Amino acid sequence: MYKSLKIIQALITAALIASCSTVIEPPNGMVDWSLANTTGSKVTMSVYDKVCNRSYFRVSIPRAREKSISTCADSDGKADVRYRRYSFK
């Protein structure tokens, strides 16, 4: 009985926390751009948005394809990112 009450309490708490989270728009808007893979194999990359301090881990890009990504814009309206290649497959 006590365990089931704890589980119900945890579910209610999680639901309240999830409902309270809101999306805050960045002050300078977003920039839409693409990661392009021009190699003959699949590439996995990590992208770090330096403006909003947000990470996009292990973005998988199939061979000879592009992957759309949105990052925060700086005061000039440009994206400021760092990226690292994880692997070729």
pLDDT in tens, 9-67: 888 877 766 665 556 778 899 999 999 999 889 999 999 999 989 998 889 999 999 99
More confident residue, 22 or 69: 69
Confidence at residue 16, expressed as pLDDT on a 0 to 100 scale = 63
In a 13 Å sphere around the CA of 70, the CA atoms on its Cβ side amount to 5
Contact call for residues 36 and 66 (beta carbons, < 8 A)? yes
Average pLDDT, stretch 2-6?
A: 76
Confidence at residue 86, expressed as pLDDT on a 0 to 100 scale = 82
Q: Is the pLDDT of residue 81 over 80?
A: yes
Confidence at residue 3, expressed as pLDDT on a 0 to 100 scale = 76
Q: Is the pLDDT of residue 76 over 90?
A: yes
Q: Is the pTM of this model over 0.75?
A: no
In a 13 Å sphere around the CA of 7, the CA atoms on its Cβ side amount to 4
Q: 43-49 and 54-61: which strand pairing?
A: antiparallel
Tell me which DSSP letter residue 52 carries: T
Displacement of CA 22 from its chain's centroid (Å) = 16
